[in-house]
Amino acid sequence: MLIKTKPNFLVVGVPKAGTSSLYNYLKEHPEIYLPEQKELHFFANRILEKNTEGPGDKLALKTIIRNREDYESLYKSIDEESAFGDISPSYFYFSDTVIPLIKSYLGDELKIIISLRDPISRAFSNYLHQKRLLLETLSFSEAIDSELKRKTNRYGDFWRYTEHSLYYENCKKYIKAFGEENVKIVLFENLIADSEKEIKDIYKFLNVADNFKPPNLKEIFNKGGVYKQNKLTTTLLKPTRFKQLASKVIGQKLSNKYKTYKESVLQKYTESKPEIDTQTLIELKTYFKQDIDQLKTLNLDISKWKYFK
């Protein structure tokens, strides 16, 4: 049964490819409605909850939307907006599970936005994210070698650094399900290089005024990085139940302000990112070669992808 009050566009992923920036840019537009909570994961909630044995996994799922009533309630504040969105990066990876549910609840007359990034850069950023949260203890190459074991041991999907960087099959599934004209693929590197052009194209795709310029367009959200480890950075970065509870109590707007404060403090302790060792790079280029070749058949210009020029 279709949801009455519902989104008409989805940003389905991928993680670590600019979805936070897209959320903040799109939310500024007067014709676009987005819930105060960025990631809902409603259509993936059941499959996400089957894999929670990794460090921090259960805590990470505390805020996902689990039932139809809660999901619908997030869209009851829609006023004069014409585009209503749900930005949930898990929808891409779990396409086989998610697409039938999307069609069942929302129908098939909606727009799909997919944000992709150089697969090696994305995988490494994913790894550094877990490292930054003090959850990942292995080196990058060791973590890649441990992916299958972790998957078997029901670690959450966010530990699958390389699998999340395989794009072609899931792109094709969304294109087949919703039509090529209703699927827009955005490249993270283009969003960084020319944010104004990319967001203008997205506005056109969503049929909202494309002459609107978000005031926060020069800001990069959730940009990650590597930080010096000390008591302050550890306190700010390590996820805890108390932080999640406090976030619910103070509300999403104040929570977002806290995130802005946290990022400003962390900038003072930024360190250079480590390099990926040569052997790991060689292996990853081989691993992703077939997927890259297939992606090119979708007429994507990946010339800005650092490791595949």
Q: 184-193, pLDDT tens digit by residue? A: 999 999 999 9
> Nearest CA to 63 among 78, 94, 42, 47?
42
- Report d(CA 26, CA 152) in Å as an integer: 37
Sorted by sequence, the CB contacts under 8 Å of residue 190 that are 6+ apart come out as: 197, 198, 304
- Residue 96 burial (C-beta neighbours within 10 Å; 0-12, 13-18, 19+): exposed
Quick one: tokens of 106? 């929302």
Summarised one tens digit per residue, pLDDT across range 24-50 is 999 999 999 999 999 999 999 999 999
Tokens 């992916």 appear where? Answer: 147
Tokens 């109590």 appear where? Answer: 249
- Report d(CA 276, CA 279) in Å as an integer: 9
| Coil, helix or strand at residue 274 | coil
CB 210 within 8 A of CB 200: yes
Q: Domains of the chain: which residue ranges?
A: 9-225+273-298
The four Cα atoms 53, 59, 61, 66 give a dihedral, to 10 degrees, of 110
CA dist list (Å): 104 to 1, 85, 98, 109: 6, 17, 10, 11
> Nearest CA to 43 among 83, 77, 11?
11
CATH class of 9-225+273-298: alpha beta
Sorted by sequence, the CB contacts under 8 Å of residue 249 that are 6+ apart come out as: none
| Coil, helix or strand at residue 270 | strand
Sorted by sequence, the CB contacts under 8 Å of residue 287 that are 6+ apart come out as: 162
Alpha carbon 56 to chain centroid distance? 18
CA dist list (Å): 15 to 104, 105, 122: 24, 23, 8
- Per-residue pLDDT 10s for the chain (309 aa) are 455 578 999 999 899 999 999 999 999 999 999 999 999 999 999 999 999 999 999 999 999 999 999 999 999 988 889 999 999 999 999 999 999 999 999 998 999 999 999 999 999 999 999 998 889 999 999 999 999 999 999 999 999 999 999 999 999 999 999 999 999 999 999 999 999 999 999 999 999 999 999 999 888 777 666 666 776 766 766 666 665 655 655 665 676 676 777 666 666 666 667 899 999 999 999 999 999 999 999 999 999 999 998
